Amino acid sequence: MPHDALIIGGSYAGLSAALQLVRARRRVLVIDDGRPRNRFAARAHGVLANDGRPGAEIAAAAHAQVAAYPTAAFRRTEAVAVERIDGGFQVAFADGTRTTGRRLLLSHGVEDVPADIPGVKERWGRTALHCPWCHGYEIGGGPVGVLGWGDHAAAYASTVAEWGQATLFLGPDTVLSPEDVRLLHRRGVTIETTPIARLEGEAQTLTGVRLADGRFVVLKALFVGANVRIASPFAEHLGCEMTDTPVGRVIKVDAQQQTTQPGVFAAGDLARAASNITLATSDGMTAAHALFRSLIEEETAAA
Ligand SMILES: Cc1cc2nc3c(=O)[nH]c(=O)nc-3n(C[C@H](O)[C@H](O)[C@H](O)COP(=O)(O)OP(=O)(O)OC[C@H]3O[C@@H](n4cnc5c(N)ncnc54)[C@H](O)[C@@H]3O)c2cc1C
């Protein structure tokens, strides 16, 4: 096999794993087609030593550092299929070529599925935001909206309230308990029951939201809790168990990022609910160490 590890997804989680493995002189192939989840945002925040740096720049620096090791290899393309073969895995690429490796790390991330309200999609990552920890500080205070999101509306809105005068817009599936209402009241959150008809403002800016009854609510940003979906079906095809989280279905892993299928590891957003660059990077490192141990166990058993 030409590679000890095939890594599908060469962003934060995948590159973090690759760095560990190439430093152990393992032959790693990182496959990536350049669509990280945060590509809609101008800058990444809350990332130690990289606060405010564009996310693509952080990934490019990581890529360059991994690429400096002689056992690192890259394919800038889409992986379209993966199958288990004797002794490892075979991955097929969009151009019809294939390669093989002894272990597989899935780190190909997730896609966001934000609320289907006119104006959200084009402002995603700019003024329609998912995470106050990533972008709340930059709003600089003032009126902010929170789109109610299932059972999590009250917790989400009471968190966002730290970064502005928050209004919670209830979604069709949002039911608030009396405790939720008390919490929101204590956090100074206004509750709006009329649905949002659309977001308004030039291009990606936001002046506010137009409600279904015609009223206009001035906002600097709207926080939209999004569900996620794993774009590529590799884990399911390989028989990995999945697990349901508040944000959607992700790959089930143990504390070492090992999936329920031998030889298959998963790291980053596709294997966790709470997600950010730091957590994805940490998962990648954990997965790499477990993957490495599984290689040496096999090698020492065979010796
Ligand atoms: C708008 C927005 C802004 C964000 N801002 C921040 C922030 O400021 N700070 C922060 O810490 N976090 C932020 N996040 C969260 C952060 O983007 C994710 O937690 C992080 O990107 C997860 O890293 P990952 O490596 O798991 O996946 P990703 O970064 O999403 O990378 C997955 C990679 O896999 C590749 N891929 C997918 N399928 C295939 C395939 N079949 N073949 C080849 N390659 C494939 C993709 O092209 C992509 O490069 C933000 C998220 C969003 C949505």
Is 54's pLDDT higher than 90?
yes
Q: What is the pLDDT of residues 151-162, one digit of tens each?
A: 889 999 999 999
Nearest CA residue ID for atom 26, ligand 1: 268
| CB of 81 closer than 6 angstroms to any ligand 1 atom | no
Contact (Cβ atoms closer than 8 angstroms) between residue 101 and residue 91: yes
Q: Read off the tokens for 100.
A: 């093989």
pLDDT the model gives residue 148: 84
Q: What is the DSSP letter of 195?
A: P
Ligand 1: distance of its center to the CA of 298 in Å?
Answer: 32
Is 21's pLDDT higher than 90?
yes
pLDDT the model gives residue 51: 98
pLDDT the model gives residue 61: 98
Nearest CA residue ID for atom 3, ligand 1: 38
Measured CA distances, 280 to 26, 156, 258, 276 (Å): 21, 22, 15, 6
| CB of 151 closer than 6 angstroms to any ligand 1 atom | no
Ligand 1: distance of its center to the CA of 110 in Å?
Answer: 7
pLDDT band at 283 (very low <50, low <70, confident <90, very high): very high
Contact (Cβ atoms closer than 8 angstroms) between residue 68 and residue 24: no
Q: What is the pLDDT of residues 58-81, one digit of tens each?
A: 999 999 999 999 999 999 999 999
C-alpha span between 148 and 278 (Å, rounded):
27
Nearest CA residue ID for atom 41, ligand 1: 79
pLDDT band at 226 (very low <50, low <70, confident <90, very high): confident
Ligand 1: distance of its center to the CA of 229 in Å?
Answer: 12
Angle at CA of residue 246, ends 172 and 110, nearest 5°: 105
pLDDT band at 149 (very low <50, low <70, confident <90, very high): confident
Is 99's pLDDT higher than 80?
yes
Contact (Cβ atoms closer than 8 angstroms) between residue 53 and residue 44: yes
C-alpha span between 85 and 65 (Å, rounded):
31
Is 173's pLDDT higher than 90?
no
Contact (Cβ atoms closer than 8 angstroms) between residue 30 and residue 66: yes
Query: What mean pLDDT is reported for the chain?
Result: 96
Ligand 1: distance of its center to the CA of 270 in Å?
Answer: 9
Contact (Cβ atoms closer than 8 angstroms) between residue 8 and residue 264: no
pLDDT the model gives residue 150: 77
| CB of 45 closer than 6 angstroms to any ligand 1 atom | yes
Contact (Cβ atoms closer than 8 angstroms) between residue 80 and residue 92: yes
Ligand 1: distance of its center to the CA of 283 in Å?
Answer: 13
pLDDT the model gives residue 296: 98
Q: What is the pLDDT of residues 181-218, one digit of tens each?
A: 999 999 999 999 999 999 999 999 999 999 999 999 99
| CB of 275 closer than 6 angstroms to any ligand 1 atom | yes
| CB of 130 closer than 6 angstroms to any ligand 1 atom | yes
Q: What is the DSSP letter of 124?
A: B
| CB of 280 closer than 6 angstroms to any ligand 1 atom | yes
C-alpha span between 3 and 79 (Å, rounded):
15
Nearest CA residue ID for atom 16, ligand 1: 276
Q: Read off the tokens for 71.
A: 């056992």
Ligand 1: distance of its center to the CA of 100 in Å?
Answer: 25
Q: How many CA atoms lie within 13 A of 81 on its CB side?
A: 9
| CB of 3 closer than 6 angstroms to any ligand 1 atom | no
Nearest CA residue ID for atom 1, ligand 1: 125
pLDDT the model gives residue 198: 97
Is 26's pLDDT higher than 90?
yes
Higher pLDDT, 225 or 296: 296
Closest listed residue to residue 56, CA positions, set 104, 15, 7: 15
Ligand 1: distance of its center to the CA of 37 in Å?
Answer: 3
Ligand 1: distance of its center to the CA of 27 in Å?
Answer: 24
Is 163's pLDDT higher than 80?
yes
C-alpha span between 62 and 33 (Å, rounded):
16
C-alpha span between 194 and 283 (Å, rounded):
41
Conformation bin of residue 48: beta by default, left when phi > 0, alpha when psi is -120 to 50: beta
**What DSSP assignment string belongs to 201-269?**
SSTT---EEEETTS-EEE-SEEEE--EEE-SS-HHHHTT--EEEETTEEEE---TTSB-SSTTEEE-SG
